[in-house]
Amino acid sequence: MRPLKIAIIADALDNQNAGVHVFTKEMIRAMIKTNTVHEILLIRQKKGPKIEGVKEIIVKNTKLPIGYASFRLFCIIPFILVRQKVDIVIEPAHFGPFNLPSNIKRVTVIHDLTPILFPEYHRFFSWFLQKLFLGKIIAKADLLIANSNYTKQDILKHYIKSKDKVVKIYPDSTLSNKKEILPLKAPFNFPYFLTVGTIEPRKNHLLLLDAFEIFKMNNPEYKLIIVGANGWKSNPVFKNISNHKFKDDIIVTGFVENETLCSLYQNAAAMIYPSKYEGFGLPVLESIRLGTIPILANNSSLPEVGGKDAFYIQNESPQELANVMHKVISLDTQEREQIIQKLKNHANIFSWKNFGEQIWNELNVLKDLN
């Protein structure tokens, strides 16, 4: 078997800390661990900690001069990839790759179609670029990797001609499946509910804040911890918090390191994720891996990731969510442990090892098409 030269456009390692960053990092690790003969080349914006098993080319990105970022993406990177004589290029952030000759195969990872389906949840410029380019990206891709069956069906529904090149490959949680409970340090040593995710409209923090107010009426000892970076269109959330009846019991941490995040998951009464739409919903799997019951909106991919033993709300009703929160804290120890074990059994369908093996299988198939 001829070794392949695989290039990964790994900008997400250097320009963000959100879900695509985590996915890109773990995808690279999974591919390295399951690689046998192939060469992996990363295109990055800046030098980071050395990653064994790959080569790196740094193509710096700057905001000035105006237009350079586009020139880098559409001209410089394709030129480098051609000169490197790569066989396949993978874009983990679903915006590209661009301007490659037909002998170089294009692989695009699609995490969700929110820019197309819910443009109101995005900045105008971000939505406009996706609207302008995503259809062409999907049309030119030789392989599309969807992160869930739901995302795959969304792609097939809205881009009918892609039906022969979409595969579903599940990612996994990036946090360790720790058996011991990590002790929480001050100021988190109190009963609380947790939500994790970028603060932006799609995550539906406003529903959670309304439900928390109702829940607190009969459960004054509980607090709410909101973990996640400040995203776009987040002002209504922070305005709600500042005017909230129980604002002193709402803690916004921003981004936290993995050790703290693991501890927050493990010690929470539940992880609440009332998102309006998810292509996968990584915090759901993280909470399950770490022994925390998730309370989820019953939409998009969330039932696929959470399984039948997670707790769900059927409507965007603060009262319904407050009722489910009360139901979870009313579980006795045995009931809680049984539910958590069932959730963990369901989570066995997700594996980075399987991810690595599946993606290499698909890449070898692409090689044979040349």
Which burial class, exposed, middle or buried, applies to 91 when counting CB atoms under 10 A from its CB (0-12, 13-18, 19+)?
buried
Nearest Cα residue to 102 out of 87, 90, 91, 92: 87
The reply to whether 183 falls in a domain is no
Q: Which domain holds residue 159?
A: 5-172+351-368
pTM, rounded to two decimals: 0.91
- Any alpha helices (H) in the chain, and if so which ranges? 12-15, 19-33, 68-71, 77-83, 114-117, 124-140, 149-158, 205-216, 235-243, 258-267, 282-289, 302-306, 318-329, 333-346, 352-368
SS3 167: strand
Q: CA 137, CA 130: separation in Å to the nearest integer? A: 10
Residues 290 and 206 in one domain: yes
> pLDDT per position in the chain (370 positions), as tens?
678 999 999 999 988 777 788 899 999 999 999 998 999 999 999 988 888 999 999 999 987 788 898 999 999 999 999 999 999 999 999 899 999 999 999 999 999 998 888 888 877 777 788 888 889 999 999 999 999 999 999 999 999 888 889 999 999 988 866 666 666 665 677 899 999 999 999 999 999 999 999 999 999 999 999 999 998 889 999 999 999 999 999 999 998 888 889 999 999 999 999 999 999 999 999 999 999 999 999 999 999 999 999 999 999 999 999 999 999 999 999 999 999 999 999 999 999 999 999 999 999 988 776 5
In order of 21, 100, 127, 208, the CA distances from 173 in angstroms are: 13, 32, 28, 24
Residues 152 and 9 in one domain: yes
Predicted pLDDT of residue 279: 94
Three-state SS annotation for 112-155: CCHHHHCHHHCCHHHHHHHHHHHHHHHHHCCEEEECCHHHHHHH
The reply to whether 187 falls in a domain is no
Dihedral angle at the C-alpha atoms of 185, 187, 192, 197, nearest 10 degrees?
A: -90
Residues 21 and 161 in one domain: yes
Q: What six digits make up the tokens of 250?
A: 């709402």
The reply to whether 182 falls in a domain is no
Residues 20 and 122 in one domain: yes
DSSP conformational letter for 344: H
Which burial class, exposed, middle or buried, applies to 62 when counting CB atoms under 10 A from its CB (0-12, 13-18, 19+)?
exposed
The reply to whether 304 falls in a domain is yes
Residues 312 and 322 in one domain: yes
Predicted pLDDT of residue 184: 65
Predicted pLDDT of residue 175: 80
Residues 142 and 21 in one domain: yes
Predicted pLDDT of residue 187: 66
Predicted pLDDT of residue 176: 66
Q: CA 55, CA 58: separation in Å to the nearest integer? A: 10
Residues 155 and 35 in one domain: yes
Amino acid making up residue 53: G
Predicted pLDDT of residue 182: 66
The number of residues making up the chain comes to 370
Write out the H or E segment, with its range, that includes residue 273: strand 271-273
Predicted pLDDT of residue 369: 62
The reply to whether 160 falls in a domain is yes
Residues 87 and 201 in one domain: no
The reply to whether 181 falls in a domain is no
336: CATH: 3.40.50.2000
The reply to whether 149 falls in a domain is yes
SS3 104: coil
Cis peptide before 191 (omega within 30 of 0): no
Predicted pLDDT of residue 180: 65
CA Rg value for the chain: 21
The reply to whether 329 falls in a domain is yes
Contact 109, 150 (CB under 8 A): no
Q: CA 8, CA 13: separation in Å to the nearest integer? A: 11
